[in-house]
Chains A and B, each alone.
Chain A
């Protein structure tokens, strides 16, 4: 039995971590690609098996497969404790699911120094997994930073001309944010009750939930944590790093950044802000939501006028995340449930969009919307995929986003009708920019550039097919996800007494 020797969260961290270290020594391009793909499939397998043991509420014995704690730094009350709850299952699955698809979709792309590239990709995965499973604040911070370092090297080493500066800006933003969070973590830690004889305080999640903090302390601690997460998500006005990084980086890194690392921010808010600083959340939620909605509308308007496909996807992503962040702070059952679904859906949709942009750029050598025209005539299969994915981004019924955005807007409506109104407006704008992009690039006259385009590879076709199936499946039957995350939502809401 897998779970008796190694618990699932451990495996989810160690498989990518160790294979990542091994990958450094595989110099051969083809072998290291295959090795990374196999490693990510192994992680996916563990994640899928872990889902079979996710029903802790009904089968208490499963608890031991999903939680583990080792002595780490007893003298300051920190332990290597990892565990999976509903949200953890969902996001580790998303991470494990995305990686094989990323590797498969970009299998034909050759990178300089492939061993370093894939090693860093896998180490990033280990860091992201660690963030989602850590149940100790210090460990969480460790993984939070460890995910950042490899992605920094990835985006700086492989990418466009201005990549070094763009990535560095991203790094300094996030690093400053995380350091502020570190101060917050230490401060909360000093106010936690003791859970063991070794130390007066504890870094464990439960100790943090039971920390005694006055309303005034919560007020400023809230901002220390919030900035770290807001930079990562990113919430307006902390988003300025994002379009540049997305434009300059290589595709696999961008897929990881936008599909997975963004979720680290949302996850952080739900796991570490809402339950620990409920009073501050109740005080500042309107302010934060105003910023989220401004970001949503602002990013949507900019997306309307983007000519570069990468920047276009970047801004549309900021817009969607604005709605998601607003829904997090609405903090009611519907909105949080919508957020859970949206975290999965956004991951799938944006991954699919990036793959299509990647294919277009590979085929034609350009990614300017103005230079592309009539791709559909040349490649009808791609057109069909893109239209479905575009519909999913607009949140059309039957697509996955419809349910999540419906839930989120419903939650916003309960909170304050005006946020829901402006949120819906954002979706309308998203329909405009998405459809106009599809129209400009895929329909119309085929021009010379597009004429030369080749067919997409079988791997890319399969990946897109899988993603489209996932989009439709979640659009029709989201119940498993809702069932999986309901316990987390109930738990979080139970810790916010004012709601």
Chain B
């Protein structure tokens, strides 16, 4: 509850602050102060000290899994603000409002990690999405940004409609007439028609939100068109929150009859893995490549929904942390560049040794090389799938796709270390020493989780 209320409050504070802040740099510090406050409040709640006692009639359930996920998401957001806070000033004049919108997104995220009824799921999704429609179009003069925003909005509202239809069918279909996700749980019996139809619609709606194939078509254009800072936020924290909601809903409502709908997940997972990885190979722009790679990673996230066991739960959090840290890190470097093409990275090893080294660690983590968090995360989700014991070919397909992933991530690594710099392209990259320090911290976190994943996982069982 702490996180939901404080993020909403701080969003309002930031919104009105925009009137009073004289300097353009001020909002960044307020935002950082806000996220630290939210983070601390959330951790206090995790250890049993909620500030607010609101009777939600069981519509929200604050379990250790959800609160722990909040902590991970807020830490990532903090890192993101620290690394890229200044870059919001490049988008436009309303810096304070951008931060305000992001706090509203975080409010939606906190609801999605603790919802207990389908109504709040819907509310959470909407609170999460609407600020993003604005943010992705925040660069008013940029045509691609406007296109991205409009596309995202149209497709997003359409998929919300589908999700809502699914919720309605589930509500009407279950004998209790209840929105509570536990009450929907029908045990292991056969799926009634209405519930089955509702389940498919919810699955489609959620797949859209997490950009799983074949509902991914908006993702590359939106991620590519939106300002790079916003993309970084959307691709990581927002996407992961949608996955947590997806997992929460399917585990509590439909977990018992998993094998009746698992085939759908199998198809979606396979398609997402293949489309994301294969298309990413052909991209020339690092930003667009990362957009496709985020679809590819959605495929790996889908494994947690495929398996739905305890290992999947652990894997989901670990993958969320690994993916967010690495993507935020590599995006922080990309944002600093004028040219987003792969050639823009040529010779980075000579120009900016520390940026180069940390970028390589982020890329290795995204590839899934041992000793980085990316490996342990992949390892956990694959282990969850193998423990499930069904459809093992899917796991083999996943590792083949991971090898394809190496092709495009390593292309950037090759550019960084083995190619000569192109004169005139990204000649001057200005970064502060605190930026370098934070990148190093992010990389260190990735390596730490790479050999001690227990540091993160153990808290689920606190």
Contacts and interface: CB of A to CB of B under 8 A. Distances in A.
Interface stretch (B71-79, B324-332, B399-407): B399-407
Contacts of A190: 383, 386-387, 389
Contacts of A171: 406, 410
Contact of A183 (B364, B396, B406, B453): B396
Given A156-B417, A175-B403, A179-B403, A141 B396 contact: no
A145 B365 CA distance: 13
A183 B399 contact: yes
B418 interface: yes
B370 interface: yes
Nearest to B395: A183
A38 interface: no
B379 A73 contact: no
Interface residues of B, number: 31
A74 B457 CA distance: 12
Contacts of A74: 454
Contacts of B82: none
A199 B90 CA distance: 51
Interface in B418-461: 418, 451-454, 457-458
A contact patch SS:
helix
A179 B369 contact: no
A157 interface: yes
A164 interface: yes
A149 B418 contact: no
Nearest to B411: A168
B454 A146 contact: no
Interface in A132-154: 141-142, 145-146, 149, 153
Given A164-B414, A190-B387, A179 B454 contact: no
B370 A187 contact: no
A133 to B, nearest CB: 16
Contacts of A179: 368, 399-400, 402-403
Interface in A220-249: 224
A195 interface: no
A176 interface: yes
Interface in B370-392: 370-371, 375, 379, 382-383, 386-387, 389, 392
A149 B453 CA distance: 21
Contacts of B399: 176, 179-180, 182-183
Interface in A74-90: 74-76
Contacts of B414: 156, 164, 168
Interface in B242-281: none
A172 interface: yes
A366 B452 CA distance: 50
A176 B400 contact: yes
B382 A183 contact: yes
Contacts of B453: 73
Interface in A154-211: 156-157, 164, 168, 171-172, 175-176, 179-180, 182-183, 186-187, 189-190
Contacts of A176: 399-400, 403
A449 B290 CA distance: 52
Interface string B334-377: 00000000000000000000000000000010001111000100
B280 to A, nearest CB: 15
B406 A157 contact: no
Contact of A172 (B389, B403, B417, B454): B403
Contacts of B457: 75
Nearest to B375: A145
Interface range, A side:
20 to 34
B347 to A, nearest CB: 13
A168 to B, nearest CB: 6
B274 to A, nearest CB: 15
Nearest to A73: B454
A179 B401 CA distance: 10
B370 A186 contact: no
A189 B389 CA distance: 12
Nearest to A148: B369
Nearest to A181: B399
Contact of A149 (B369, B400, B407, B451): B369
A130 to B, nearest CB: 11
Contacts of B364: 149
Interface string A416-446: 0000000000000000000000000000000
Nearest to B311: A76
Contacts of A142: 370-371, 451
B371 A146 contact: yes
Contact of A141 (B370, B392, B395): B370
A175 B406 CA distance: 8
Contacts of A189: 383
A156 B368 CA distance: 20
Nearest to B350: A113
Nearest to B314: A75
Contact of B407 (A141, A156, A172): A172
A145 B450 CA distance: 13
A76 B389 CA distance: 17
Contacts of B382: 182-183, 186
Contacts of B371: 142, 146
Which of B395, B402, B418, B457: most chain A CB closer than 10 A? B418
A412 B204 CA distance: 59
Contact of A186 (B375, B383, B417, B451): B383
Which of A72, A74, A157, A182: most chain B CB closer than 10 A? A182
Contacts of B407: 172
Nearest to A145: B370
Contacts of A168: 410, 414
Nearest to B385: A186
B418 A156 contact: yes
Interface in A96-146: 141-142, 145-146
B447 to A, nearest CB: 12
A176 B383 CA distance: 17
A224 B386 CA distance: 14
Interface string A56-94: 000000000000000011111000000000000000000
A172 B401 CA distance: 11
A175 B368 CA distance: 10
Contacts of B392: 183, 187
B93 to A, nearest CB: 45
A313 to B, nearest CB: 25
A141 B414 CA distance: 24
Contacts of B451: 72, 142
Contacts of B418: 156-157, 164
Contacts of B375: 145
Contacts of B452: 73
A164 to B, nearest CB: 5
A156 B417 CA distance: 9
B386 A186 contact: yes
Contacts of A153: 417
Contact of A180 (B396, B454, B458): B396
Top 4 A-B residue pairs of the complex, sorted by shortest distance between their CB atoms:
A179-B399, A176-B403, A145-B370, A142-B370
12 contacts: A145-B375, A157-B417, A171-B406, A171-B410, A176-B399, A179-B402, A182-B379, A183-B386, A183-B395, A186-B379, A187-B386, A190-B386
Given A180-B396, A182-B399, 19 more contacts: A73-B452, A73-B453, A75-B454, A142-B370, A146-B370, A149-B364, A153-B417, A168-B410, A168-B414, A172-B407, A179-B368, A179-B399, A179-B402, A182-B379, A183-B395, A183-B399, A186-B379, A186-B386, A190-B386
